[in-house]
Homo-oligomer: A and B are copies of this chain.
Amino acid sequence: MAYSKVDQGILASLRQIIPDPKRLLTDKQDLAGYSYDASFGTYWPEVVIQPKNTEEVAAVIKLANAQKIPVYPRGQSTSLSGGPLPVEGGIVLDLSKMNHKLEVHADDLIAIVSPGVLTAAIHEAAEKVGLMYPPDPSSSAVSTIGGNLAENSGGPLGLKYGVTKDYVLGLEVVTPEGEVIRTGGRTVKNVTGYDLTKLLVGSEGTLGVITEATLQLIPKPPAAATLLAIFDDIVKSGEAISKVLTSGILPAKMEIMDQACIIAVESYEPLGLPVDAEAIILIEVDGHPRAVEEEIREAAEICERIGARQVQIASTAAERANLWKARKMVSPAITRVKPTKISEDATVPRSQIPAMFSRLKQIREKYQVNLVVFGHAGDGNLHPNIVADKRDKEEMQRVEKAVEEIFQAAIELGGTLSGEHGIGNMKAPFMEMELGTAGLDMMKRIKDSWDPNNIMNPGKIFPKPGQKLNLTEE
């Protein structure tokens, strides 16, 4: 597919839609900020547009479709899979300024939001009226709900409460041909035709632009408690996780960090963590106060029985925050080790967590890479992170091979390439490995039927013929 360039004629047409020069950017220094995200690689857009409403989005898309110019929706660019990267040039649609609506309708247990609203603002607005918007990607303080919707973001609370998709009742969407449609509605139950809402959430901006969403809220659980358990043996920590999950307790969160994370955190900011321990797990339960009290005690007993070196319990908000401190510090700590961080989110069935840990250990040794593992152990959604230096080509070639083998391991263990970060451009070459030719073809048919000119976020999800993972060139 050959795309058109954004020439002076097209720029003039765009300026008719967006006359405000502050919302239509073409200067190199303005474009620079749109050439990367939190993943890997630099790609330059030709123009950046900051639409303020659905009509502007629809007009831009209609023009882009008629002229065959690629369009990349973008929120706050916290994507770990390259979601908003303009890999084929064209128009970046910066939706972070389209944040005028954040309505909470407590009697219907819903919120209606614009795509540029920060996820944390939704958390806050819901809590003000005793409600809760559960999806909690680690980036929620800085990421937009539009980005969360496009990528179907997860988070620690996914274990008990599910992911972004589970809380979307309806959408307003601009299709790849510039039509405005509404999917779903304001009701929890809706089986009127195909579930376009759940098709669009997680479609990574390849099927249209989400311009409004109706989200489901739930009553906020009145109490919570957290435990931190230290294990000398990582396999034992996996057993403890399994045992808690089959004991009748469904924790809100269950996180793990391995020895490499512990060491990185301790050298970043000493918290007194034991650097000789193989794993730390954190378990949080929430709900009715009495239930919380009993369940956290029971979970602690299970950890002790299986051989935890030490177990701490916290019930107040301040004490709980203190226990979570180590886990929250993992990401900044590991990027201190080396500058380039390749974050993966390969996910395996719960029972395969110990097997995945030993596969990851083999990969670390085989390729001699700085591989650290943390993540959402309760649902098998691990985050193997490799830190490296992208200027070191030889190291990056080893990283490439290690990443490929991580994906293979996840799929061989009955898991998936991506639990919550999305496919983007980097994981596209591995899609057929997981889905098979026919499975990938059925996805492609939907894409082709909705976006015949392939203008919406091209280069994402679907591999080009012969495309391979490439971390050594930009």
Please give the residue numbers on chain A whose beta carbons come within 8 Å of chain B beta carbons, in ascending order: 105-110, 130, 151-152, 154, 158-159, 162-163, 165-166, 175, 179-183, 185-196, 198-199, 201-203, 207, 218-220, 222, 242, 245-250, 287-288, 290-291, 294-295, 347-351, 376, 379-381, 414-423, 427, 431, 434-436, 438-440, 442-443, 445-450, 461
When the two chains form their complex, are residues B196 and A202 in contact, meaning their CB atoms are under 8 A apart?
A: no
Expressed in whole angstroms, the Cα–Cα distance for A291 and B223 within the complex equals 12
Q: Could you tell me the distance in whole angstroms from the C-beta of A385 to the nearest C-beta in chain B?
A: 17
Q: Can you show 24 pairs from A to B with CB atoms below 8 A apart? A: A107-B351, A108-B351, A110-B349, A152-B191, A154-B191, A166-B166, A179-B438, A181-B435, A181-B438, A181-B442, A187-B414, A188-B380, A189-B347, A191-B418, A192-B416, A192-B418, A192-B431, A193-B440, A193-B461, A194-B199, A194-B447, A195-B199, A219-B249, A287-B287
Enumerate chain B residues within 8 angstroms of A448, measured Cβ to Cβ: 449
When the two chains form their complex, are residues B130 and A248 in contact, meaning their CB atoms are under 8 A apart?
A: yes
Expressed in whole angstroms, the Cα–Cα distance for A443 and B183 within the complex equals 10
- The closest CB in chain B to the CB of A352 belongs to B108
- The closest CB in chain B to the CB of A435 belongs to B193
When the two chains form their complex, are residues B288 and A218 in contact, meaning their CB atoms are under 8 A apart?
A: no
Expressed in whole angstroms, the Cα–Cα distance for A202 and B220 within the complex equals 30
Expressed in whole angstroms, the Cα–Cα distance for A416 and B199 within the complex equals 19
When the two chains form their complex, are residues A416 and B187 in contact, meaning their CB atoms are under 8 A apart?
A: yes
When the two chains form their complex, are residues A349 and B187 in contact, meaning their CB atoms are under 8 A apart?
A: yes
When the two chains form their complex, are residues A422 and B350 in contact, meaning their CB atoms are under 8 A apart?
A: no
Enumerate chain B residues within 8 angstroms of A151, measured Cβ to Cβ: 191
- Point out the residue from B182, B219, B419, B446 that lies within 8 Å of A194, measured CB to CB: B446
Expressed in whole angstroms, the Cα–Cα distance for A250 and B219 within the complex equals 7
Expressed in whole angstroms, the Cα–Cα distance for A434 and B195 within the complex equals 14
Expressed in whole angstroms, the Cα–Cα distance for A138 and B464 within the complex equals 48
- A187 and B419 in contact (CB under 8 A), knowing A195-B202, A446-B194? yes
When the two chains form their complex, are residues B379 and A423 in contact, meaning their CB atoms are under 8 A apart?
A: no
Enumerate chain B residues within 8 angstroms of A163, measured Cβ to Cβ: 189
- The closest CB in chain B to the CB of A242 belongs to B107
When the two chains form their complex, are residues A350 and B423 in contact, meaning their CB atoms are under 8 A apart?
A: no
- Point out the residue from B166, B416, B450 that lies within 8 Å of A445, measured CB to CB: B450
Enumerate chain B residues within 8 angstroms of A218, measured Cβ to Cβ: 250
- Point out the residue from B186, B192, B195 that lies within 8 Å of A349, measured CB to CB: B186
- The closest CB in chain B to the CB of A417 belongs to B192
Q: Could you tell me the distance in whole angstroms from the C-beta of A444 to the nearest C-beta in chain B?
A: 9
When the two chains form their complex, are residues A191 and B438 in contact, meaning their CB atoms are under 8 A apart?
A: no
Enumerate chain B residues within 8 angstroms of A439, measured Cβ to Cβ: 181-183, 196
- Point out the residue from B183, B187, B427 that lies within 8 Å of A415, measured CB to CB: B187
When the two chains form their complex, are residues A185 and B415 in contact, meaning their CB atoms are under 8 A apart?
A: yes
Further pairs besides A191-B420, A193-B431: 8, Cβ < 8 Å: A175-B438, A179-B438, A187-B415, A189-B420, A192-B431, A194-B447, A287-B288, A291-B291
When the two chains form their complex, are residues B245 and A185 in contact, meaning their CB atoms are under 8 A apart?
A: no
Expressed in whole angstroms, the Cα–Cα distance for A164 and B400 within the complex equals 40
When the two chains form their complex, are residues B435 and A195 in contact, meaning their CB atoms are under 8 A apart?
A: no
- A423 and B193 in contact (CB under 8 A), knowing A107-B351, A349-B187? yes
Enumerate chain B residues within 8 angstroms of A427, measured Cβ to Cβ: 192
Expressed in whole angstroms, the Cα–Cα distance for A185 and B417 within the complex equals 11
- A189 and B442 in contact (CB under 8 A), knowing A198-B199, A290-B291, A449-B449? no
Enumerate chain B residues within 8 angstroms of A158, measured Cβ to Cβ: 188-189
Expressed in whole angstroms, the Cα–Cα distance for A23 and B445 within the complex equals 34
Expressed in whole angstroms, the Cα–Cα distance for A376 and B159 within the complex equals 27
Expressed in whole angstroms, the Cα–Cα distance for A449 and B448 within the complex equals 9
Expressed in whole angstroms, the Cα–Cα distance for A442 and B183 within the complex equals 10
Expressed in whole angstroms, the Cα–Cα distance for A182 and B222 within the complex equals 40
Expressed in whole angstroms, the Cα–Cα distance for A379 and B294 within the complex equals 31
When the two chains form their complex, are residues B248 and A186 in contact, meaning their CB atoms are under 8 A apart?
A: no
When the two chains form their complex, are residues A199 and B199 in contact, meaning their CB atoms are under 8 A apart?
A: yes
Q: Could you tell me the distance in whole angstroms from the C-beta of A96 to the nearest C-beta in chain B?
A: 22
Enumerate chain B residues within 8 angstroms of A438, measured Cβ to Cβ: 175, 179-181
